[in-house]
Amino acid sequence: MTMHDWLPLLTLLTSLLTGLLIFFLREQQVRARSFLNMTGAGLKLVFVAIMLWGSFHGRSYETRLPLLGRTDLVLRADALAMLFVGLSSLLWFLTTIYAIGYLEKSPNRSRFFGFFSICVTATVGIALAGNLLTFFVFYELLTLSTYPLVVHRGTPEALRAGSKYLIYTLSGAAVLLLGVVWAYVLAGPIEFTAGGALSHLQEEHHRSTLIAIFVLLVGGLGVKAAFVPLHGWLPAAMVAPAPVSALLHAVAVVKAGAFGIVRVIYDVYGIKLTESLGLTGPLAAIAAFSIIYGSVRALVQDDLKRRLAFSTVSQLSYITLGVAIIGPLSTIGGVVHLVHQGIMKITLFFCAGNLAETIGIHRISEMDGIGRRMPWTMTAFTVAAFGMIGLPPVAGFISKWYLGLGALEAGQGWAVAVLVLSTLLNAAYFLPILYVAWFKEPQIVWPERAPRAWFESDWRLLLPTLATALLSLTAGLLAGLSISPVGWVRMIVKQVYRLWTPFLGAP
Amino acid sequence: MVGGWSAPLGIELYADGLSASLLAMTAVVMSTAGFYAVQTIRRGGSHTEGCDNDFFWPLWFFLWATLNAVFLSRDIFNLYITLELLVLCSVPLLTLAGSGAALTAGMRYLLVAMLGSMCYLLGVVLLYARYDTLSIPQLGALIEPTSATLTAIALITSGLLLKTALFPLHFWLPGAHGNAPTPVSALLSGLVVKASFYLLLRLWLGAFSGALSPAAGEYLGILGSGAIIWGSLLALRQVRLKLVIAYSTVAQIGYFFLLFPLATSELARSSGHPDWVAMAGSGALYFLISHALAKASMFLAAGCIAHAAGSDRLSELIGIGRYLPVSVFALALAGVSLIGLPPSGGFVGKWLMLTAAFGSGQWWWAIVMSVGGLLAAAYVFMVLRQAVVFRLVDIRFYEVPAGMQWTALVLALLSLLLGVSGEAPFDLLEIGSPFSPPPVDGSVP
* pLDDT > 80? residue A481: no
Strand A62-68, strand A71-76: pairing? antiparallel
* pLDDT > 60? residue B436: no
Per-residue confidence at B442, pLDDT binned at 50, 70, 90? very low
Check residue A435 and give its pLDDT: 92
Interface probe, candidates A181, A182, A184, A213, chain B, greatest B C-beta count within 10 A: A181
What is the value of ipTM here, to two decimals?
A: 0.87
The dihedral sign for the CA sequence A123, A175, B372, B358 = negative
Whether residue A148 is preceded by a cis peptide bond, meaning omega within 30 degrees of 0, is no
Per-residue confidence at B285, pLDDT binned at 50, 70, 90? confident
* pLDDT > 80? residue B211: no
- Report CA-CA distances (Å) from B231 to A413, B157, B192, B226, B369: 54, 21, 18, 8, 13
Cβ separation B342–A141 shorter than 8 A: yes
Check residue A28 and give its pLDDT: 81
Q: Choose the closest CB to B385 out of A69, A159, A173.
A: A159
Average pLDDT, integer, range B133-141: 82
Cβ separation B342–A174 shorter than 8 A: no
* pLDDT > 80? residue A286: yes
Task: Give percent of chain B with pLDDT exceeding 70.
Answer: 87
- Our CA angle for A326, A331, A332, nearest 5°, is 155
Cβ count within 10 A of residue B236 = 14
Check residue B119 and give its pLDDT: 93
Contacts of A359 (CB under 8 A, 6+ apart): A370, A373, A374, A446, A447
Q: Choose the closest CB to A185 out of B348, B358, B389.
A: B358
Tell me the shortest Cα–Cα distance from B354 to chain A, in angstroms. 7
Q: Choose the closest CB to B388 out of A65, A151, A170.
A: A151
* pLDDT > 70? residue B204: yes
Cβ separation B348–A177 shorter than 8 A: no
Residue B189 lies in a domain: yes
* pLDDT > 90? residue B227: yes
Distance CA(A420)–CA(A288), nearest Å, equals 12
Q: Which structural domain range is residue B193 located in?
A: 17-430
Tell me the shortest Cα–Cα distance from A154 to chain B, in angstroms. 4
Cβ separation B385–A162 shorter than 8 A: yes
| Residue B4, burial from CB neighbour count under 10 angstroms (0-12, 13-18, 19+) | exposed
Tell me the shortest Cα–Cα distance from B137 to chain A, in angstroms. 29
Residue B67 lies in a domain: yes
Distance CA(A97)–CA(A103), nearest Å, equals 10
Cβ separation B390–A155 shorter than 8 A: yes
Average pLDDT, integer, range B14-38: 86
Q: Choose the closest CB to A154 out of B363, B373, B390.
A: B390
Tell me the shortest Cα–Cα distance from B348 to chain A, in angstroms. 7
Average pLDDT, integer, range B266-272: 60
B377 touches A at CB < 8 Å:
yes
- Report CA-CA distances (Å) from B122 to B108, B128, B154: 21, 10, 10
Cβ separation A67–B367 shorter than 8 A: no
Q: Please count the structural domains in chain B.
A: 1
Contacts of A375 (CB under 8 A, 6+ apart): A456
Q: Can you list the pairs that B40-48 forms with residues at least 24 positions away whose Cβ atoms lie under 8 Å? A: B40/B182, B40/B183, B40/B303, B40/B404, B42/B401, B43/B401, B43/B404, B47/B307, B47/B398
Distance CA(A118)–CA(A306), nearest Å, equals 26
A136 touches B at CB < 8 Å:
yes
Residue B11 lies in a domain: no
Average pLDDT, integer, range B102-123: 91
For residue B206, the 8-state DSSP code is: I
Q: In terms of CA atoms, which chain B residue is nearest residue A170? A: B374
Question: What secondary structure does DSSP assign to B306-331, as a single string?
Answer: HHHHSS-BGGG-TTGGGT-HHHHHHH
Tell me the shortest Cα–Cα distance from A125 to chain B, in angstroms. 13
* pLDDT > 70? residue B78: yes
Check residue B299 and give its pLDDT: 92
Residue B435 lies in a domain: no
Alpha helices in A325-364 (DSSP H): 328-359
Average pLDDT, integer, range A49-55: 85
**HEC sequence for A223-257:** HHCCCCCCCCHHHHHHHCCHHHHHHHHHHHHHHHH
Distance CA(A133)–CA(A140), nearest Å, equals 11
Q: In terms of CA atoms, which chain A residue is nearest residue B425? A: A69
Q: Choose the closest CB to A153 out of B319, B341, B390.
A: B390
Check residue A77 and give its pLDDT: 85
A64 touches B at CB < 8 Å:
no
Tell me the shortest Cα–Cα distance from A239 to chain B, in angstroms. 14
User: What is the amino acid identity at position B404?
Assistant: M
Average pLDDT, integer, range B50-62: 84
- Residue bearing the bigger pLDDT, B254 or A2: B254
pLDDT in tens, A402-457: 899 988 888 888 889 999 999 999 999 999 999 998 888 887 777 777 666 677 77
A159 touches B at CB < 8 Å:
yes
Residue B6 lies in a domain: no
Cβ separation B390–A182 shorter than 8 A: no
Per-residue confidence at A238, pLDDT binned at 50, 70, 90? confident
Element (H, E) at A71: strand A71-76
- Residue bearing the bigger pLDDT, B437 or B119: B119
Lowest mean pLDDT among A237-251, A255-269, A490-504, B235-249: A490-504
User: What is the amino acid identity at position A49?
Assistant: A
pLDDT in tens, B365-424: 899 999 999 999 999 998 888 887 776 666 667 778 888 888 899 999 988 888 877 666
Contacts of A263 (CB under 8 A, 6+ apart): A80, A135, A192
Task: Give percent of chain B with pLDDT exceeding 90.
Answer: 25
Task: Give percent of chain A with pLDDT exceeding 90.
Answer: 24
pLDDT in tens, B381-397: 988 888 877 766 666 67
Average pLDDT, integer, range B77-94: 89
Phi, psi (rounded to 5 degrees) for B28: -65, -50
Task: Give percent of chain A with pLDDT exceeding 70.
Answer: 96
Distance CA(B360)–CA(A441), nearest Å, equals 70
Contacts of A58 (CB under 8 A, 6+ apart): none
* pLDDT > 50? residue B441: no
Do A14 and A46 meet the contact criterion of CB atoms below 8 Å apart? no
User: What is the amino acid identity at position B339?
Assistant: I
Distance CA(B344)–CA(B286), nearest Å, equals 10
Give CA A422 to chain center in angstroms.
20
Give CA A271 to chain center in angstroms.
22
Distance CA(A311)–CA(A401), nearest Å, equals 19
Lowest mean pLDDT among A157-166, A351-360, A380-389, A453-462: A453-462
Domain boundaries, chain A: 279-507
In sequence order, what are the beta bridge partners of B240? B313
Best-predicted range by mean pLDDT (A4-13, B362-371, B435-444) = B362-371
Per-residue confidence at B208, pLDDT binned at 50, 70, 90? confident
- Report CA-CA distances (Å) from B178 to B175, B226, B259: 5, 21, 27
Per-residue confidence at A382, pLDDT binned at 50, 70, 90? very high
Check residue B438 and give its pLDDT: 40
Cβ separation B366–A181 shorter than 8 A: yes
- Residue bearing the bigger pLDDT, A113 or A504: A113
- Residue bearing the bigger pLDDT, B222 or A67: B222
Distance CA(A165)–CA(A146), nearest Å, equals 9
Interface probe, candidates B279, B358, B383, chain A, greatest A C-beta count within 10 A: B358
B383 touches A at CB < 8 Å:
no
Distance CA(B238)–CA(B389), nearest Å, equals 19
pLDDT in tens, A116-133: 899 999 999 999 998 888
Check residue A295 and give its pLDDT: 92
Chain B residues within an 8 Å CB radius of A188: none
Check residue A123 and give its pLDDT: 92
Check residue A81 and give its pLDDT: 87
Helix axes B325-339, B345-359, angle to 10 degrees: 10
| Total H helices, total E strands in chain A | 20, 2
Check residue A504 and give its pLDDT: 42
B318 touches A at CB < 8 Å:
no
Per-residue confidence at B443, pLDDT binned at 50, 70, 90? very low
Do A280 and A412 meet the contact criterion of CB atoms below 8 Å apart? no
Interface probe, candidates A136, A177, A210, A217, chain B, greatest B C-beta count within 10 A: A177
Q: Could you tell me the pTM of the whole model? A: 0.90
A113 touches B at CB < 8 Å:
no
Average pLDDT, integer, range A275-302: 90
The dihedral sign for the CA sequence B230, B232, B233, B237 = positive
